[in-house]
Amino acid sequence: MIKQFTFNLLFVATLCAPSRADEPATVSFRKEIAPILRDHCLACHGPKKAEGGYRVDTYEQILKPGDTGESPILLEGSHTGELVKRFLSEDEFERMPLESEPLTGEQIKLFEKWVQEGGKFDGKDVAQKLTLLIPPPTGAEPPIQYGRPIPITATCFSPSGDSLLTSGYHEILQWNLSEKKIDRRIRNVPQRVFAMSFSPDGKVLAIGGGEPGRSGEVRFIDFATGEVLGVVARAEDVVLGLAYRPGTNELAVAVADSTIRIVDCEAMSEKMAIASHADRVNAVSWSDDGKYLASASRDQSAKVYNGDSGELIASYLGHHHQVSGVAVLSEPEQVLSVGADQKLHRWNLSDAKKVAEIPLSVDAHGLTKLGDGLLLPCSDGRVLSIDLSTNQIAKDFKGHTDWALSVSHGSQPKDASVQYLASGAFDGKICVWTISDAELYGQWLAKP
């Protein structure tokens, strides 16, 4: 208790001490210390696995002693506490990280300097998760040329309809539709992009993605300039789906950490978090009137919520496999869902009872509403169009030779009556068709 009191006094004294312009910059916990702990310590000292009874998943936990009872951070003479002691130890059973490469001399000196400066915390909440406390990174520069194609996990037509955006590696590729060539490379985005959606006014591009198993986020990009306007919905795993709520400035976000986030796009802040699923959320979708929000999950369920309160209204468990796509119909109030059971399910919102089933014979990787129908990218490379008035497959868009992972639709700039469908595949191939006749308009490899 005395040790902790001493630390608190030193902490306050450090915060209140006057600074001098010629003094070297103090060590930032958020920018310099937290990333080292995340990369080298968190795997063994987190909330689920706390070796030696010690955790580093929040600043608050870092200050608490482990099973040894020794204070991790302590200013007493030349001592710096148990944390730095473990980093410096030459005993293979005591030195941390255990059974891994030791920290570099520079990293250890950084820790020592941070402790000597009072172990300052430069965040807003000492209980905030370490991974979310670290400032959003500036996106890495993408390779000038790709060594091989990468899966196209997201596609989106530009508001003007004359270009197609596809997911790249640390970037978004903007393709000129008529010439099938790259017009622009939008950078400073997540490593992998799994979802894209334009704001209702077409000025802002929302990008959802991250680094699988490590981080996730939504970035808002000024489409005209490429400037990052904000980063929201930060998570410990990737963002997989986005959906703007009709008639509002709200964005629903599907996250692989099993949550759904509702973001106020004007305030650039989270309005609500829904934690109803037991596994990653693959997709989200609003009803046309914005009254309902639906979600699809790897936990084998599709769910519907009140759009205002987030209250769970219905849960459908009829797939018995992971669910990859979902949509809500307003008239009648029914829900459509697809997944790994190779069927399209149609069920009532009121009682979550199935009313129809359409055999697909293949896995569908999601679904997109188009008028009175649906578009389904499938594991056999086809994109299927579903007529909801007959519950039948209406059209079969062929051209891919690998899994179709993403699908989007848009209009021709000079003639809005001409509708295009675009799909990206696992092998990096893009196919574009005219929707009216399912004729292939163009195909190319989305590889710089």
Query: How do residues 181-202 score in pLDDT, each as one tens digit?
Result: 999 999 999 999 999 999 999 9
In whole angstroms, give the CA distance from residue 352 to residue 335. 9
Query: How do residues 288-303 score in pLDDT, each as one tens digit?
Result: 999 999 999 999 999 9
- Mean pLDDT, range 396-413, rounded to an integer: 94
Q: Which uninterrupted H or E stretch holds 15?
A: helix 2-16
Q: Which uninterrupted H or E stretch holds 315?
A: strand 312-316
When pLDDT is cut at 50, 70 and 90, the band that residue 15 belongs to is very low
Q: Coil, helix or strand for 253?
A: strand
> What does the pLDDT read at residue 7?
33
Query: How do residues 98-112 score in pLDDT, each as one tens digit?
Result: 878 888 989 989 988
Residue with tokens 């680094």: 211
Query: Is the confidence at residue 22, as pLDDT, over 90?
Result: no
Query: How do residues 162-171 score in pLDDT, each as one tens digit?
Result: 999 999 999 9
- Mean pLDDT, range 315-335, rounded to an integer: 95
Residue with tokens 């000024």: 222
First-to-final CA distance of the chain: 60
Q: Which amino acid is at 252?
A: A
Query: Is the confidence at residue 8, as pLDDT, over 70?
Result: no
- Mean pLDDT, range 28-43, rounded to an integer: 87
> What mean pLDDT value characterizes the chain?
89
When pLDDT is cut at 50, 70 and 90, the band that residue 79 belongs to is low
Count how many residues are written for the chain: 448
Query: How do residues 199-237 score in pLDDT, each as one tens digit?
Result: 999 999 999 999 999 899 999 999 999 989 889 999 999
Winning range, highest mean pLDDT, from 368-372, 397-401, 408-412: 397-401
Domain ranges of the chain: 2-133, 155-445
Q: What architecture (CATH level 2) is domain 155-445?
A: 7 Propeller (2.130)
> What does the pLDDT read at residue 84?
84
- Mean pLDDT, range 17-34, rounded to an integer: 70
What are the structure tokens assigned to 16, written together? 């209140």
When pLDDT is cut at 50, 70 and 90, the band that residue 266 belongs to is confident
Query: Is the confidence at residue 258, as pLDDT, over 90?
Result: yes
Instruction: Output 173-179 pairs: Cβ under 8 A, ≥24 positions apart.
Output: 173/446, 173/448, 175/430, 175/444, 175/446, 177/420, 177/432, 177/442
Q: Which amino acid is at 23?
A: E
What are the structure tokens assigned to 332, written together? 């009648």
Q: Which of 254, 324, 320, 328 is nearest to 286 (CA)?
A: 328
User: Whole-model pTM?
Assistant: 0.78
Please name the residues in contact with 284: beta carbons below 8 A apart, sequence gap of 6 or more.
241, 242, 243, 252, 253, 254, 260, 293, 294, 295, 296, 326
Lowest mean pLDDT segment, chosen from 6-15, 59-68, 162-171, 310-319 = 6-15
> What does the pLDDT read at residue 75?
57
Read out DSSP for 103-138? PPHHHHHHHHHHHHTT----SS-TTSBHHHHSPPPP
When pLDDT is cut at 50, 70 and 90, the band that residue 13 belongs to is very low
> What does the pLDDT read at residue 76?
58
pLDDT cut 90: percent of the chain above it:
64
> What does the pLDDT read at residue 424?
98
- Mean pLDDT, range 274-285, rounded to an integer: 97
314, 320, 324, 330: CA torsion to nearest 10: -30
